[in-house]
Amino acid sequence: MLSYLLLSGLTTGSIYALVALGIVLVYKATGTINFAHGDQLMIAGFLAFTLHVLLGLPYLVALAGAVAGSFALGAVAAQVGFRAVLRTSLVNVVLATLGLAFVLKGFARLTWGGISDYLSFPPLVRPEPILIGDMVLLPQQLVVTAGALAVMGLFALFFRLTTIGKAMQATADNPRAARLVGIRVERIHLLAFAVGAAIAGAGATLMAPLTLLYPDIGFMLFIKGFAAAVLGGLTSLPGALVGGIAIGVVEALAAGYIHSSFLEVSAFVAIMATLVLRPRGLMGGPPPRRA
């Protein structure tokens, strides 16, 4: 049972880590939390469902389409809805992201179904478990975990090796110094929203075969991802991975050994405990500088 719970926790934790990665990326670049991040992920999941199930395209094509569509959605939302308010107060940015979240949720209900409508995404591999001694491994979980880790690895290479990735890191660390060396900080801010949404698109497509899709799933995933980001440190991209895996494993163990009701409350307990004991998270450093 322990091996199954650990694998289940690792699988869900890797999805939480992807959600947290997008949240941390936007926070590092702009100093704000994108409260529409979960609903951007939800839209990406429905987009992948449309491409793979309704149109019959291969899964990898649906994955690429969901990532590209999420990137475009994030870029448009940042350009139209966030560009002006980023120069004003934090309250205005929060209200703008909350407004976008409700718009996306309403669009999903209008397009794919209402509150009580659930859509299933077909599994990518055969569902029969793999027995290795006393260990029970589900192929679907292994595929999703490997996919999530691969996506995180690709984005890590993006930040380390590409000029745009390095510019985003420089802007996040010190916007004023980034301006002095010629980096267009406002453009990097918009790009952060778009890349964060693309990460959400990858997470949604990987998550879809493990769960049902419905319009309100975005808020739940945002809460879990935000808990992971707080636990790992809102200024640490590696912390997003650590926090996501930790939240997933704690959830699985709590549900398996205590009670299933702890599955939903463990994320909130993690947020409260982290804020009390280590406000900057397990791997969080000093707050990012603002111009």
Q: Is the pLDDT of residue 63 over 80?
A: yes
Domain count for the chain = 1
Looking at residue 259, its amino acid is H
- % residues pLDDT > 70 (the chain): 90
Q: Do the domain assignments include residue 227?
A: no
Does the structure show a pLDDT above 60 at 290? Answer: no
Q: Which residues, other chains included, contact 59 with Cβ-Cβ below 8 Å and sequence gap of 6+?
A: 52, 124, 205
pLDDT of residue 242: 86
pLDDT at 174 over 80: no
In a domain, 63, yes or no: yes
Q: Provide the residue range defining the domain that includes 51.
A: 19-215
Q: Is residue 272 part of a domain?
A: no
- Give the model's pLDDT for residue 114: 63
Contact (Cβ atoms closer than 8 angstroms) between residue 257 and residue 209: no
Q: Is residue 261 part of a domain?
A: no
User: Is 209 inside a domain boundary?
Assistant: yes
Contact 105, 215 (CB under 8 A): yes
The backbone torsions φ and ψ at residue 65, rounded to the nearest 5 degrees and listed phi first, read -65, -40
Predicted TM-score of the model (pTM)? 0.83
Distance, in Å, from the CA atom of 39 to the CA atom of 43, rounded to the nearest integer, reads: 6
Q: pLDDT for 222-273, tens place per residue?
A: 988 888 888 888 877 788 888 888 888 888 888 777 777 777 777 777 778 7
Tell me, what's the pLDDT at 136? Answer: 65
> Has residue 241 been placed in a domain?
no
